Amino acid sequence: MKLWAFLIIFLSFWPSLRACDCCKDSLTSAALIEKASVIFRGKATEENNNWMSGGKKYTFVVQESWKEQANKVMYVNTPFENNCGMRFEVGKTYVVFVRKERRKFVTDCCMGSFGVEEEKISEAALGSKMGVKTTNPMSLMIGISVTLIIVLGTFVVFLFSRRAKSPE
């Protein structure tokens, strides 16, 4: 009976024990760059547990980006470390390789992110810089919403003022 219990427990952890094999593999720079949707250099400013997705969510202030233009502030999700997640230290600067999954940016130890002091991949290998988007998509949505409210408010005031002036 004890043997069965041990086997059940061992086999339930088996996928997570083997899941991070790619972290030990040394992928070429070209393969890492190819896998990433966006590559950026940024400073980790915030770390939050993201229990709903089973990992952590980091906030980065982006300084430079390659492959695709990055937002000035990037929110990056990663699994917990026992599931191949990355650990970023708040206050340190990293070169982060992310892929886009269901409108979120995600990274893990298989993507190739590293601290700038490590310099695993030269900037020349990353290719030409794409710049950083200065507008945050959220501020753009707020701007559009405010504009719509002003236009609708003006239209309503116009309708009521016409109605008040019309003779009965």
Whether residue 150 is found in the same domain as residue 112: no
Whether residue 114 is found in the same domain as residue 82: yes
Asked if residue 43 is part of any domain, the answer here is: yes
Contact between residue 70 and residue 133 where contact means Cβ atoms under 8 Å apart: yes
- Tell me how many domains the chain contains: 2
Look up the pTM and report it: 0.65
Whether residue 152 is found in the same domain as residue 69: no
Whether residue 25 is found in the same domain as residue 43: yes
For residue 98, report the phi and psi dihedrals to the nearest 5 degrees.
-125, 155
| Structural domain harbouring 70 | 21-134
- Between strands 104-106 and 73-79, the pairing is parallel
Whether residue 62 is found in the same domain as residue 102: yes
Whether residue 70 is found in the same domain as residue 115: yes
- Exposed, middle or buried: residue 148 (CB in 10 Å: 0-12, 13-18, 19+)? exposed
Asked if residue 104 is part of any domain, the answer here is: yes
Could you tell me which residues come within 8 angstroms of residue 109 by beta carbon, excluding any fewer than 6 positions away? 20, 22, 23, 84, 85, 86
Asked if residue 14 is part of any domain, the answer here is: no
Contact between residue 55 and residue 85 where contact means Cβ atoms under 8 Å apart: yes
- Exposed, middle or buried: residue 115 (CB in 10 Å: 0-12, 13-18, 19+)? middle
Whether residue 46 is found in the same domain as residue 108: yes
Spell out the per-residue pLDDT of the chain, length 168, in tens.
665 554 455 444 444 444 566 665 567 778 888 888 888 999 999 999 877 777 899 999 999 888 888 888 999 988 887 778 888 999 999 999 898 888 888 898 888 888 777 767 777 677 777 777 766 556 666 777 878 888 888 888 887 777 766 665
Asked if residue 30 is part of any domain, the answer here is: yes
Whether residue 39 is found in the same domain as residue 112: yes
pLDDT of residue 80: 83
